[in-house]
Each structure stands twice: as C-alpha cells, then as structure tokens.
Amino acid sequence: MSKEIIKTDIAIIGAGPVGLFAVFEAGLLKMRCHLIDALPQVGGQLSEIYPRKPIYDIPGYPSIDAQDLVDELMKQIAPFHPTFTLGERVEFLEKQEDGSYYVIGNEGTIIHAPVVVIAGGLGSFEPRRPEIPGILDYEGRGGIHYFVKNPENYRDKKIVIAGGGDSALDWTIFLSDITERLTLVHRSDSFRGAPDSAEKVFRLAEQGKIDLILQSNLSSVHGVDGQLKQVGVADKSKTETLLDLDYLIPLFGLSPKLGPIGEWGLNIEKSAVAVNTFDYSTNVERIYAIGDINTYPGKLKLILCGFHEAALMCQSAFKYVYPDQKLSFKYTTVNGIHEF
Amino acid sequence: MNEDIIRIQVEGPGDRVHELEIPDGINLSLMEVLKASEYDIMATCGGMALCATCHIQVLEGMEKLEDRTDPELDMLDTLPDADDDSRLACQIKINPSIDGIKIRVFGNSSI
C-alpha cells in the first residue's frame, strides 16, 4: 500500500490533550503539526475513557468535562490548521540521512518531519485479548477479529462473538441478519449494556435466530494450518463445549498498551519514556516525549504538567525546524495569534 | 496484634505471596496501596472504575468487602477474564473491615 508522504514540521504521535496543546505552542513558533493516533477520534483517554467526567485542575476552569476540554483545545488550535491521521497506530520511526524522521503507521501512512513528539499517553489503545493459549496464532487472517471492519466479510459465515458490553450486543444484532449462524458467548446471565439491545438479543435467541451461550467463557481455540476452526466454551463447572466457526470476534473493550514505542531505541523506565526535563527530549536527538508517556524524577501524570512540557518542548524543537533562525520568546498578549 | 494495622495477603506474580501491612486511616484505595507497593498495576483512569487495569481476584474474604456498585459491575462485565470473585481494586477503600482478605493481582503484562 503506498500513500502520499505527509510533510510537516512536527509529527505528533498521540492526539490526546497534551498532543493537541502542543499544536498550539508549536503554532506560536510557526511550526506546523500532523497528529497520528490509534483511536478513531481525537482526545485520547479523555474522549475514550471518561468523556463526561469533570476535571477540576485545569487552570481557569473550576470544573470542565473531559470532552469539553478536548473540544476547547480543538478550537484553540484551529488557527494553526493541524492535520490528523486517526485510527492508525504508529509502528516504526525511520531516521533519514538529513536527521529527519519518517513516522510510519500500520496502514501505510508516512509522515516526514524534522521533529517527532511522542504524546502517547499510556500507549495505544488496543483490544483486550482473552488469555487463551494459542490465540495469537489465529489473529487477523487466521479468523480472530477484534474489530468489525467490514460486516460483509461475515455474510453466510459461522460467527462467534464473545463479550457482554454494548458493542458485543450491537454487533450481534447487526450481524445476525447476514451470518449463516451467530453465537454470542457471555460470562454472565444478564447484560449490562443498553437494556434495549439486551432485550433484542434475548428475543433473537428465543426466535432461534442466534445461539446465546450464557454463564460461559471462551476457553480454547483450535485450527488447522493457521486457520481457526473451532473454539471451546466453558461453563461455570468448567465443562467445555466445542463450536465450529469461521470467525471469532472477541469484543472486550480497549486497554492501553505501550506497544511499538518500546522498540524505538528510547530509554524506557516502567513503561514510560525517560526524558530530560530541560526540554523533554529523549535520549534520541529530535525525538521528544511529553505528557503521561514520559517519566522523570518528580513526574506527575497531570494534563497540567503535560501542557507545560509541550511549551518547553517546542522552544527546543524550533532549532530543528528553523536551523537558521534565532528564537525570540514572545507573549501571546503582546503578539497575538497569527493564523497560518 | 496491632489493631491499627490492616493486613492483606497478595498472591502473585507467580506463586509469590506477600502480606501488605497498611496503617488504618490512610484514606487510600486498595489500587493506590498496590501501586505504591510496586505491583504491576497501571490504573490508567486513576480510580474511576473506567479502565479495569486494576482488576483483582478476591481469593478469601469477598464477604468483608462492600458490594460492587453498578459502574464497577459495568466495567468488570467488559473483561474477558472477570468472574464472580473479580473486583476493581480502585473501588475498595482501605478500612479495618477488610483486614485479612487475600487477593490475586492480574497485572498488565498479559499476552
């Protein structure tokens, strides 16, 4: 898959609050930013985990809901026209001859920038994987999908969905129409998702349109030549039943993982990137880390601290973007915001 | 026996069993104590029952704990490995009534 290379001044990995605010600080210094995030929307943890929870320690806001803060940040950075690649995880950083970097995503996106900023929070959000021996062997082409990307893949196939949350219920309802046979496996005998959806699922089971296996968990996977053929489902007494299938779709939500960031030659301490507090640079020149992803003596994982780190990082990154210019510090009150 | 000390047995990682001694009145959740004791707990959401990275299994003394609230049950329900003895450590307040419980930490280093 080849895509056009995206050229920018700063490639920001992670579009959470700190990554977003870095766009503002960079914009004040006339540096353009492109952000890439594994989640399909901006906001990081704030939008994904607690959008409607209040935050009380953002200066100037006695209380602000997490999603509102994200929305306000998007307004604040709008004059600097950041660009985004969402729903794509960064896999590699590739150093170029002139010292700049290619930031390469798992869907083939390439961002070319003289500076890379990792604002990755606690890593990328990845699907929770049931701890079943051998499950890794069948992921992707082998028949285990953690997302429903193209429902048509499942037409006239035998599908097992595992999970009890809203997405498990919603996809069960949706896919029950097109699959040859759909089985939903859930560990409890009730669903805590939207009551409407739960009711629909029970009705589909009564009508014989789906098989509902409650009080049970996935217990084993079996296949031939890397292709999943059967899954084991164990009830509370650990009695296992084998189900034939074409695809298994485990839907247990997302959980953050450090992921590939750990493989880029950066100093890692306790699942975080060690930085110099002078400018939040890492041990690799031109790569910075700000926000929850970094660590240093006295580190506090606060959005507030990430904002500060973003400001200092930009002052330092300027020399790579404009090597021939001298940076002069200016207040926004004096200088205003200059859109570009 | 010092009555001001709350003792919790923690199993894992592996076969290791360690006893935590926690002074009464410190106003922390079990998640915070486990984290401070260097257990492999991310506690991404900081204690809002929203991320499930502090998932523990209660091996002994489930009856000593307060009932699970709806938000906690909702979150546990999304986990592939949760069961009737599962709790989120962030939702358990340290207080004398939980003295003597035994738990297992799942940790985040799963495959």
Q: Do residues B50 and B76 make contact, with C-beta atoms less than 8 angstroms apart?
A: no
CA of B105: how far to CAs of A13, A36, A125, B55, in Å?
Answer: 31, 33, 21, 7
Of the candidates B46, B36, B110, B39, the residue with the CA atom closest to the CA atom of residue B79: B110
The neighbouring-strand residues paired with A171 are none
Lookup: tokens for A191: 């669903």
* CA-based nearest residue in chain B for residue A272: B42
Q: Which residues of B touch A165 (CB under 8 A)?
A: 77-78
A190-228 confidence digits (pLDDT tens):
888 788 999 999 999 999 999 999 999 999 999 999 999
Contact A117, A289 (CB under 8 A): yes
Whether B80 sits inside 8 A of A164 (CB atoms) is: no
**pLDDT the model gives residue B111:** 34
The pLDDT tens digits of the residues spanning A124-140 come to 888 888 989 999 999 98
Q: Which residues of B touch A255 (CB under 8 A)?
A: 44, 51-53
pLDDT recorded at residue B3: 62
Q: Which residues of A touch B90 (CB under 8 A)?
A: none
Whether A187 and chain B come into contact, CB under 8 Å, resolves to: yes
Q: Give percent above pLDDT 70 in chain A.
A: 99
Mean of the per-residue pLDDT values for chain A?
Answer: 94
Each residue's pLDDT tens digit in chain B (111 positions)? Answer: 556 899 999 997 777 889 999 998 888 999 999 988 988 888 877 888 888 889 999 999 999 999 999 889 888 888 888 888 999 999 999 999 999 999 998 765 433
| Side-chain half-sphere exposure of A53, counting CA atoms within 13 A | 15
CB contact under 8 A, B51 and A217: no
Q: For A77-127, how does the pLDDT look when each residue is reduced to its tens digit (9 = 90+)?
A: 999 999 999 999 999 999 999 999 999 998 899 999 999 999 999 888 888
Residue A270 has pLDDT above 50, yes or no: yes
pLDDT value of position B110: 39
- Give A135's contacts in chain B (Cβ within 8 Å): 111
Q: How far apart are CA A93 and CA A80, in angstroms?
A: 25
Tell me which chain A residues have a C-beta less than 8 angstroms from the C-beta of B82.
Answer: 187
Q: Which of A29-38, A241-250, A273-282, B29-38 has the lowest mean pLDDT?
A: B29-38
Contact B50 A50 (CB under 8 A): yes
Give the closest-approach CA distance of A131 to chain B in angstroms. 7
Give the model's pLDDT for residue B104. 93
**How far apart are alpha carbons B59 and B78 in whole angstroms?**
21
Q: What is the pLDDT of residues A147-195, one digit of tens each?
A: 888 899 999 999 999 998 888 999 999 999 999 999 999 988 888 878 8
Q: Which residue has the higher pLDDT, A76 or B52?
A: A76
Q: What is the pLDDT of residue B82?
A: 86
Cis, bond preceding B13 (omega within 30 deg of 0): yes
